């Protein structure tokens, strides 16, 4: 054999090895980079024996069979290495890669789908589509969210046919890009500052011009106010057809929210809505079956039943469709539930944290898909209170926020990660004590500057934002998730100057922390039921008398705000705001 021919053969072998390496690298990276490999690449065509000559080694189109792997009960859950379901260009695409080419009865991979409420499956009936069996796959099918049935909320799984039966492999995942279906794709509105407030709707009027210079606002939407016929004869019911069914929504409260949200939007205020599942006759289909009536203020949504899921989908789709224009107003942030780690605010009969969180994660997933399929850039949040890591195992009133957050993040990630955010309530310890910078020995033991602190308040809020830097907490693109301090208040019971100082100090802490999007104070006007508990949180008394905090709130985010609020530094005990901020950095 002459030297030239030998070099040609060796060159061909080396080129083939490099192509095989490149192909396997592409197989590994494709799901991570969202590369559609539904069509065979030239490299794969050669490796599978249907390509053309490369390096003088392959000169025919004879098939070369890849080795196959047996799928067993032991490896079936891990056989699908990477798997996601996305919507692209109106198509549902199930993409992924396999450990190997699975042994099966035929040359097909099957895409199965199950309704979110379904627990037992008929795998033959669950077949949605199929494609040629391949280590790297992309199974595409039409998705029509306007018909009588929707694929948007289903779970998806890959399967093969083995010994005459459909045999699922890998985990179940949800669609992670519902925003591809949205008609409203305007960018998320950027607020002028982080200063927010629960406004008193009784103060709003047709010529309201934002006298407190509010930049962000928050409102509750109890679903019982929306669902059902109108409660006034002169205001018609709003009927909404959703997936072949007609739903009735209360025109009286919808017009009230129209006025509130359109007024805020007209004044360039970024608005947050809190979705609350309260117990009334008209909301009973939404109440989780594992509850005792009357035990909670709000309830876990029932995602175990078709009627409950479809009603929840319908009302959230309707609201998200309604509130993204000038006429009705724009809701940009949506919080699903309130302080869901506290059972009275998100009631479910006591169970282990994994089960409890799974019920909420399915509720959250459903809400996320419904809202983002109408408003592509809306932000959707889980709500937690300040009880971070108390480890109070003998108490069944709440779960530690940190533990629930860890499990929630893991469950969402396992089913297909989405861009959820965190709405947190860093109240003082105790809540009736406004001087969060000045704590008793007992409170100091609860509020520590470390990740295992039992409680988080404004004085150690960096514990929360530092924790959200962990890789397992990050958004799908690797960024830090959006964080709202969506409920915070300081009582005036220790004096109006103390309340005003606490409000300004808390705002400057939030402003100083680039990972916090907003500080939303509760509230503009005292709530009488809260005052009875020592929580006179309003900028105004319940009779409308302004407190010293009114002017402080109005000006604290102005360019000269720190100068105009400097008279409060004596109350805090700092020489200037920079010194006060150093205490909590």
Give, for all 585 residues of the chain, the pLDDT tens digit.
555 555 555 666 666 566 656 655 554 554 444 444 444 433 333 333 333 333 333 334 444 556 789 998 889 889 998 899 999 988 999 999 999 999 999 999 999 999 999 999 999 999 999 999 999 999 999 987 776 678 999 999 999 999 999 999 999 999 999 999 999 999 999 999 999 999 999 999 999 999 999 999 999 999 999 999 998 989 999 999 999 999 999 999 999 999 999 999 999 999 999 999 999 999 999 999 999 877 899 999 999 999 999 999 999 999 999 999 989 999 999 999 999 999 999 999 999 999 999 999 999 999 999 999 999 999 999 999 999 999 987 788 999 999 999 999 999 999 999 999 999 999 999 999 999 999 888 899 999 999 999 999 999 999 999 999 999 999 999 999 999 999 999 999 999 999 999 999 999 999 999 999 999 999 999 999 999 999 999 999 999 999 999 999 999 999 999 999 999 999 999 999 999 999 998
**The two three-digit tokens of residue 354, written as one number:** 């994994």
Same domain? 158 vs 301 = no
Residue whose token pair is 């998806």: 156
Based on C-alpha coordinates, what's the Rg of the chain? 28
Instruction: Say what the pLDDT of residue 381 is.
Output: 98
User: What's the number of CA atoms in the CB half-sphere (13 Å) around residue 479?
Assistant: 10
Same domain? 193 vs 290 = yes
Same domain? 443 vs 503 = yes
* CATH code, domain carrying 310: 3.20.20.80
The residue among 505, 489, 492 whose CA lies nearest residue 548 is: 492
Same domain? 153 vs 207 = no
User: What's the number of CA atoms in the CB half-sphere (13 Å) around residue 438?
Assistant: 12
Strand partners, 157: 112
**Strand spans (E) along 66-204:** 68-69, 80-88, 91-98, 101-102, 108-114, 127-132, 136-142, 155-162, 165-174, 195-197
Instruction: Say what the pLDDT of residue 58 is.
Output: 34
Evaluate whether 370 touches 318 at the Cβ level (below 8 Å): no
Determine the Cα–Cα distance for residues 367 and 378; give it in Å rounded to an integer. 11
Q: Regarding beta strands 483-488 and 518-521, do their DSSP bridges make them parallel or antiparallel, or are they unpaired?
A: parallel
Evaluate whether 252 touches 264 at the Cβ level (below 8 Å): no
Number of domains in the chain: 3
Determine the Cα–Cα distance for residues 428 and 437; give it in Å rounded to an integer. 9
Residues in the chain: 585
Of 23, 47, 65, the one marking the end of a domain is 65
The residue among 557, 426, 411 whose CA lies nearest residue 484 is: 426
Determine the Cα–Cα distance for residues 98 and 96; give it in Å rounded to an integer. 7
Same domain? 444 vs 413 = yes
Evaluate whether 552 touches 492 at the Cβ level (below 8 Å): no
Instruction: Say what the pLDDT of residue 55 is.
Output: 36
**The two three-digit tokens of residue 403, written as one number:** 């533990």
Same domain? 223 vs 86 = no
Same domain? 300 vs 235 = yes
Instruction: Say what the pLDDT of residue 17 is.
Output: 64
Evaluate whether 121 touches 114 at the Cβ level (below 8 Å): yes
Strand partners, 156: 113, 173
Which residues, other chains included, contact 195 with Cβ-Cβ below 8 Å and sequence gap of 6+?
213, 214, 215, 216, 507, 518, 519, 553, 556, 557
Inter-helix orientation angle 353-372/401-414, to 10°: 60
Inter-helix orientation angle 306-322/353-372, to 10°: 40
Determine the Cα–Cα distance for residues 531 and 533; give it in Å rounded to an integer. 5
Helix (H) / strand (E) element for 26: namely: helix 3-33
State whether the Cα torsion 175-180-182-184 is positive or negative. Answer: positive
| Residues spanned by the domain of 149 | 68-175
Same domain? 210 vs 353 = yes
Same domain? 124 vs 260 = no
Same domain? 183 vs 166 = no
Evaluate whether 331 touches 284 at the Cβ level (below 8 Å): no
Evaluate whether 73 touches 169 at the Cβ level (below 8 Å): no
Task: Calculate the dihedral angle through the C-alpha atoms of 349, 352, 354, 355, rounding to the nearest 10 degrees.
Answer: -40
The residue among 496, 342, 467, 485 whose CA lies nearest residue 423 is: 485
Of 32, 65, 98, the one marking the end of a domain is 65
Same domain? 204 vs 274 = yes
What's the whole-model pTM score?
A: 0.88
* CATH code, domain carrying 108: 2.60.40
Q: What is the number of helices (H) and of strands (E) in the chain?
A: 15, 21
Same domain? 335 vs 429 = yes
Residue whose token pair is 């991979």: 109
Determine the Cα–Cα distance for residues 331 and 323; give it in Å rounded to an integer. 6
Instruction: Say what the pLDDT of residue 295 is.
Output: 84
21: how many CB neighbours lie within 10 A of its CB?
A: 11
Instruction: Say what the pLDDT of residue 13 is.
Output: 63
Of 175, 203, 230, the one marking the end of a domain is 175
Distance of CA 210 to the CA centre of its chain: 30
């Amino acid at each position: 054999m002459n030297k030239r021919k030998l070099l040609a053969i060796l060159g061909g072998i080396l080129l083939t090895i490099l192509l095989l390496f490149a192909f396997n690298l592409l197989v590994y990276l494709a799901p991570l980079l969202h590369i559609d490999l539904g069509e065979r690449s030239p490299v794969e065509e050669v490796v599978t024996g249907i390509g053309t000559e490369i390096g003088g080694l392959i000169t025919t189109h004879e098939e070369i069979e890849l080795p196959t792997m047996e799928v067993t009960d032991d490896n079936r859950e891990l056989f699908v290495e990477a798997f996601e379901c996305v919507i692209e260009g109106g198509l549902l695409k199930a993409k992924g890669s396999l450990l190997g080419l699975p042994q099966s009865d035929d040359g097909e991979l099957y895409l199965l789908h199950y309704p979110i409420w379904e627990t037992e499956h008929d795998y033959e009936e669950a077949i949605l589509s199929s494609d040629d069996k391949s280590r790297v796959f992309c199974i595409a099918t039409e998705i029509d969210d306007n018909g009588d049935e929707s694929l948007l909320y289903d779970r998806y799984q890959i399967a093969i046919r083995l010994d005459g039966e459909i045999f699922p492999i890998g985990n179940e995942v949800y669609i992670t890009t519902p925003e591809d279906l949205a008609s409203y794709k305007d960018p998320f509105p950027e607020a002028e500052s982080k200063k927010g407030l629960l406004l008193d709707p009784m103060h709003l009027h047709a010529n309201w011009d934002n006298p407190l210079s509010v930049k962000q606002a928050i409102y509750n939407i109890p679903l019982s106010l929306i669902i059902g016929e109108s409660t006034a004869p002169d205001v018609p019911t709003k009927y909404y057809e959703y997936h072949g069914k007609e739903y009735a929504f209360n025109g009286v409260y919808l017009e009230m929210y129209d006025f509130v949200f359109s007024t805020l939007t007209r004044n360039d205020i970024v608005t947050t809505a809190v979705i609350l599942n309260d117990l009334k006759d008209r909301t009973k289909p939404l109440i989780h079956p594992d509850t005792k009536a009357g035990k909670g203020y709000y309830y876990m949504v029932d995602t175990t039943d078709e009627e409950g899921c479809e009603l929840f989908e319908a009302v959230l789709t309707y609201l998200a469709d309604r509130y993204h224009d000038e006429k009705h107003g724009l809701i940009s942030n949506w919080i699903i539930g309130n302080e869901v780690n506290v059972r009275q605010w998100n009631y479910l009969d006591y169970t282990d944290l994994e089960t409890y969180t799974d019920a909420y994660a399915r509720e959250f997933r459903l809400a996320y898909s419904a809202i983002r399929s109408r408003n592509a850039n809306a932000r959707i949040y889980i709500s937690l209170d300040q009880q971070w890591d108390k480890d109070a195992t003998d108490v069944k009133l709440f779960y530690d926020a940190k533990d629930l957050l860890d499990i929630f993040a893991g469950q969402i990630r396992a089913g297909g990660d989405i861009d959820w955010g965190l709405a947190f309530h860093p109240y003082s310890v105790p809540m009736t004590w406004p001087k969060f910078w000045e704590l008793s020995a007992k409170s100091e033991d609860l509020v520590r500057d470390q990740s295992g602190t039992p409680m988080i308040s404004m004085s150690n809020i960096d514990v929360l934002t530092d924790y959200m830097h962990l890789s397992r907490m990050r958004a799908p693109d690797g960024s830090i998730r959006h964080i709202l301090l969506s409920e915070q208040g300081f009582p005036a019971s220790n004096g109006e100057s103390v309340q005003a100082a606490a409000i300004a100090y808390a705002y400057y802490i939030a402003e100083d922390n680039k990972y916090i999007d907003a500080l939303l104070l509760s509230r503009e006007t005292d709530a009488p039921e809260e005052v009875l508990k020592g929580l006179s949180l309003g900028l105004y008394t319940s009779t409308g008398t302004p407190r010293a905090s009114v002017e402080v709130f109005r000006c604290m985010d102005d360019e000269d705000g720190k100068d105009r609020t400097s008279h409060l530094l004596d109350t805090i005990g700092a020489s200037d705001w920079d010194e006060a901020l150093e205490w909590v950095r």
